[in-house]
Structure 1
Amino acid sequence: MEKIRILHTNDLHSHFEQFPKIGRYFKQAQADPSVDEVFTFDAGDFMDRSHPLSDATEGQANIEMMNSFHYTAGTIGNNEGISNPHRVLEHLFDHAQYPIVLGNLREEDESMPHWAKNWHILTTKKGTRIALIGLTAAYPMTYGPNHWHVKMLANTMDAILPQIEGQYDVLILLTHVGLNMDRWLARNYPQVDLIVGGHSHDLLPEGELVDGTWITQTGKWGKFIGDIQMDLEDHHIVQISPTTIPTSALQEEPGDEELISSYYKKGKELLEQIEVADLPAEFEDDKDRAIEISMDAIADFANVDLAILSSGLFLTPFKAGKITMFDLQQALPHPMHVVRSILKGSDLWRLVMEIEKNRHYLDKFPLQGMSFRGKIFGQMHYKGISVDMHKRMVYINGEEIDPMKEYEIACLDHYILVPFFPTLAIVGDNELLFPEFLREVVAEYLSQKYPIRK
């Protein structure tokens, strides 16, 4: 009998407050004398640029901490692949001490990213061959503009499986595709023994068995650690027993809080060194003014006259005087990208009607996911657009909208993903603008509009 223990995480999202406990649990488990071997895997979205230290170091602080956990292998999530510019992802794993397995992402010339492996095969001390395949969420709309070619899951699996046939005894997928797609993979690829998944933030306390394949996920933010017992006989699986451990139940030790605080403090110090602009007094504690200037920024970035933004994006107003990247990171922590959308006048009219129809509902609507790092959606604001709801009339730069004319408007990928404004997603000719994301676009505009005088 061969006993293997597998520890796994997913969707840590730079929640460093969990890292001391996770690190100790991993260290203790990796010395477990009751098993023959211990493997550790991460299923992506380990970084999130809403944490100052991740943002300031472009994820290198995350890699340093992940190295300390002694992972066996990992894959990437959309936060690594899309929230980061291409140049950052190219170097994110320069100092990683574990392989990144990723079968469905390529450079634009179809070459393999130098930092990833198509698949990886481990051989245990007792000679069992374990094949790992990594898969990330296939979002061509966002990977494409970031100069990556993401491949569909079925095409990837159909290409890789024949290449590794006969080379493994156990097949494990490391996936960042969500629970529904994990179930699809389990149903359609019976060769797979175990899926270590993430992306949809589902918690499967004791795993889920789908057509003979075990699926495991640990929720989000490091609140749970996955711990799997795998028993084998003659290199064949006899039993897989998944469990999850609540991180809150683990012992806190002296120094944990100080260490966690130091991560935030270090990131803050680094971002505060990057001075952006010197804002006039009118910005002090005025969120509306912050929204107005930010609409100007995204309109300028997209080279258009019109823009929309929602107030919930702004966690804090801007302040008067010198403003740093830390201030902007606190105000706009969201990893969102600007979109230039082309709409016929009749469709733009419909979009404005959708916004007005949902205005009161969205004002206090609690929102999660879709790159949003705030609490509520808030009020929609317009640049260059006004509306008379009594007459159901929309005006563009003071003139009545022309239903046959094409208009260009700056918005965010967030508004295409949320279900409140279907017109944008259905009929908008949408171009995602990379590599800068929202707060970088705002920072560049502010620096030009209100430069710091030396």
Structure 2
Amino acid sequence: METLRILHTNDLHSHFEHFPKIRRYLKQVQETAAADQVLTFDAGDFMDRSHPLSDATEGQANIRLMNDFHYDAITIGNNEGISNPHAVLERLFDHANFPVLLSNLREEDESWPAWANDYKIIKTKKGTRLALVGLTAAYPMTYGPNHWQIKMLGETMDRVLPEIAGQYDCLILLTHVGLRMDQWLAKHYPEIDLIVGGHSHTLLEKGVKEGRTWITQTDKWGNYVGDISLEIGDDHKIISIKPTTVPVADLPSQAGDEAEIAALYEEGQKMLQSRHVADLPEKFKDDKLAAIDVSLEAIADFAGTDLAMLSTGLFLTPFKGGLINQFDLQHALPHTMHVVRTTLLGRDLWRLVMEVEKNRHFLENYPLVGMSFRGKIFGQVYYRGIKYDPMTRNVFVNGQLLDPAEEYRIAVLDHYVLIPFFPTLAIVGENEFLFPQFLREVVGDYLGRKYPMKKEGEFIEERAERAEKRAENRGS
């Protein structure tokens, strides 16, 4: 008989505060387990650009830290595949010491990404053949504009399974598709023995079984580590699969953990603070509405529209007056959302405004989670170029009464297309997802053009003027 231990993580999202404990636990099991062999996997969304160090290094810091986890294979999530521009993902794994498995993503020309493997078949120390297949969430709406071809799950499995038929004893999927789609895969492809999953942030403390397939997932953010025991017979057939999860909070801390965690944050903070963006006038100091107004201008300019829409919950802090850097922007707008240019007939734009106004008070303090949102509440909606008269229910566009038959273009966010509160955007909107910049980069570029930083000579002259004014004030 053969025994295996499979350790696994998912949806770490750059929560480096858990990395020291996770690293020690993985190393301990990898080095001391009584099993014949230990394998370690990750099921995607390991990076999140709301952490300063991930943002500053475009994920390279994540790879550096994950190399210490000694993964045998990983797959990617939507945070790696969509939140990163195409070029960033192309070089993300240049220094990884683990293989990336991904069967359902290709380049625009149908070629395989240089950094990914279609699948992998490994042989254990006792000769059992394990087929490993990686799948990520299939979002053509957003992968397409980012210059990738995403393949549907069924289409991919129908291609891969015949290719690997007869080459394995045990079939394991690493998936970032969510529990519901994992259950669909298990139902439609019962030859799958084990799914190591992610994406839906589901805690399956002891796993769940769908038919003959075990499905595992470990919540999110490194709160848990998955630990699975497998028994395999001498004929290389699986006898048993026993999934468990280990709460990271229960693992012992060590001296130096807090200092390591703080150092990672400070490293990213310093890198971003060194990258200046704009020199803002004093009116921006502690004024969130000023930040919203200029951000509405920014996304409208980026999308080439007169109209725009944003919500206050996106802005975790106001902008400040004076020099603003990338850390300031990252702190204020941590979300990896993209601008969408939506074309609507006037009658549909009117309906969108009615949806906003109907939900306005409900959404003001509504707690929101997921879909790239990194704030706490949705907040109030503000428009650019649109006025609503609640007494008559009329909508005015750039001062003119809306024409039901005319086409209008409005800049919104992919977030608004995905959430359920404004269905008009998804149902009848002609939505163009604009890549590669995401929200804070769009805003930062616009601020840099509208409020450019002074040249060194101008700073010296300005300081001299201020000193002269102070001297005058003292004299008076």
Amino acid in structure 2 at the alignment position of 1:185: L
In 2: Cα distance, 1:411 partner to 1:282 partner:
25
**Map of 1:55 onto structure 2:** 55
Give the Cα–Cα distance (whole angstroms) in 1 for the partners of residues 402 and 346 of structure 2.
6
Q: Does 1:379 align with 2:380?
A: yes
**Cα offset, 1:283, TM superposition:** 0.2
2:435: which partner in 1?
A: 434
Give 1:81-92 correspondences, 5 Å limit.
81-92=81-92
1:106 aligned residue: 106
C-alpha distance in structure 1 between counterparts of 2:33 and 2:46, whole Å: 29
Matched residue, 1:317: 318
Provide the rounded CA distance (Å) in 2 between the counterparts of 1:352 and 1:190.
47
Structure 2 residue aligned with 1:79? 79
State the match for 1:29 in structure 2.
29
Aligned partner of residue 195 in structure 1, secondary structure: strand
Q: Rate the CA distance shift 1:33–1:337 in 2: closer, same or farther, 3 A.
A: closer
Q: For residues 286-435 of structure 1, what are the structure 2 equivalents within 5 Å?
A: 286-435=287-436
Task: Establish whether residue 120 from structure 1 lines up as the match of residue 123 from structure 2.
Answer: no
Alignment partner, residue 445 of structure 2? 444
Between the aligned partners of 1:33 and 1:377, the Cα distance in structure 2 is 46
State yes or no: 1:278 paired with 2:279: yes
Letter in 2 for 1:387: Y
Query: Which amino acid counterpart does residue 406 of structure 1 have in structure 2?
Result: E
For residues 232-259 of structure 1, the C-alpha deviation after alignment (integer angstroms, 9 at most, x for no partner) is: 0121100000000000000000000000
Letter in 2 for 1:427: V
Determine the C-alpha separation between the residues in 2 that align with 1:140 and 1:134: 17
CA–CA separation in structure 1 for the residues paired with 2:61 and 2:123: 30
Q: Residue 271 of structure 1 aligns to a residue in which SS?
A: helix
Alignment-derived partner of residue 162 in structure 1: 162
Q: SS where residue 409 of structure 2 aligns?
A: strand
Amino acid at match of 2:121: I
Match of 2:180 in 1: 180
Instruction: Flag structure 1 segments of 5+ consecutive residues without an equivalent.
Output: none
Counterpart-to-counterpart distance in 2, 1:210 and 1:370? 27
- Distance in 2, Cα, partners of 1:110 & 1:71: 28
Cα offset for 1:31? Answer: 1.1
The C-alpha deviation readout for 1:278-318, integer Å capped at 9, x for no partner, is 00000000000000000000000001100000000000000
Deviation at 1:121, TM superposition (A): 0.8
Shift of 1:32: 2.4
Show the counterpart of 1:265.
266
Cα RMSD of the aligned pairs, angstroms, is 0.4
Distance 2:312 2:391 in 1: 24
Residue aligned with 1:142, SS: helix
Q: Deviations over 1:158-208 (max 9, x none)?
A: 000010111111100000000000000011111100000000000000000
- 2:87 partner amino acid: R
**Deviation, structure 1 residue 324:** 0.2
Name segments (4+ residues, structure 1) moved above 2 Å: none
C-alpha distance in 2 between matches for 1:205 and 1:32:
23
User: What is the percentage of aligned positions where both structures have the same residue?
Assistant: 67
Deviation of the 1:18 alpha carbon: 0.4
Match of 2:16 in 1: 16
Cα distance per residue 1:310-363 (max 9 Å; x no partner): 000000000000000000000000000000000000000010011001000000
CA distance in 2, matches of 1:33, 1:89: 35
Hey, what's the Cα distance between the residues in 2 that align with 1:345 and 1:2?
A: 67
- The TM-score normalised by the length of structure 1 is 1.00
Aligned equivalent of 2:147: 147
Which residue of structure 2 lines up, in the alignment, with residue 208 of structure 1? Answer: 208
Deviation sequence 1:86-141 (CA, Å, 0-9, x none) = 00000000111000000000000000000000000111111111000000000000
Distance 1:180 1:449 in 2: 46
Q: Give the SS at the match of 1:116.
A: coil
Instruction: Give, in whole Å, the separation in 1 of the partners of 2:237 and 2:394.
Output: 69
> What is the CA–CA distance in structure 2 between the aligned matches of 1:450 and 1:29, rounded to whole Å?
54
Classify the secondary structure of the residue corresponding to 2:263. Answer: helix
Q: Aligned partners of 2:83, 2:168: CA distance in 1, in Å?
A: 34
Q: How do 1:232-247 and structure 2 match up within 5 A? A: 232-234=232-234, 235-247=236-248
Distance 1:163 1:388 in 2: 62
CA distance in structure 2 between the partners assigned to 1:263 and 1:402 by the alignment? 54
SS state of the match for residue 241, structure 2? strand
CA offset at residue 64 of structure 1? 0.5
Partners of 1:96 and 1:124 in 2: how far apart?
Answer: 22
In 2, the alpha carbon distance for the partners of 1:171 and 1:42 equals 16
C-alpha distance in 2 between matches for 1:60 and 1:18? 18
> In 2, distance between residues paired with 1:452 and 1:313?
25
SS of 2:444 mapped into structure 1: helix
Aligned partners of 1:189 and 1:400: how far apart in 2?
A: 55
What amino acid sits opposite 2:261 in the alignment? I
> 1:199 & 1:134 partners in 2: Cα distance?
13
Distance in 1 between the 2:33 and 2:136 partners?
Answer: 34
1:33 deviates by 4.1
* 2:138 counterpart residue number: 138
Q: Which runs of 5+ in 2 are unaligned?
A: 456-476
1:33, 1:217 → 2: CA distance? 21
C-alpha distance in 1, partners of 2:323/2:42?
A: 40
Give, as a single letter, the amino acid of the residue that structure 1 aligns with 2:304. N
TM (normalized to structure 2)?
Answer: 0.95
CA distance in 1, matches of 2:342, 2:197: 34
Residue 326 of structure 1: SS of its match in structure 2? helix
CA distance in 2: counterparts of 1:316 and 1:34, whole angstroms: 51
d(CA) in 1 for partners of 2:175, 2:119 = 12
Q: Distance in 1 between matches of 2:425 and 2:164?
A: 43
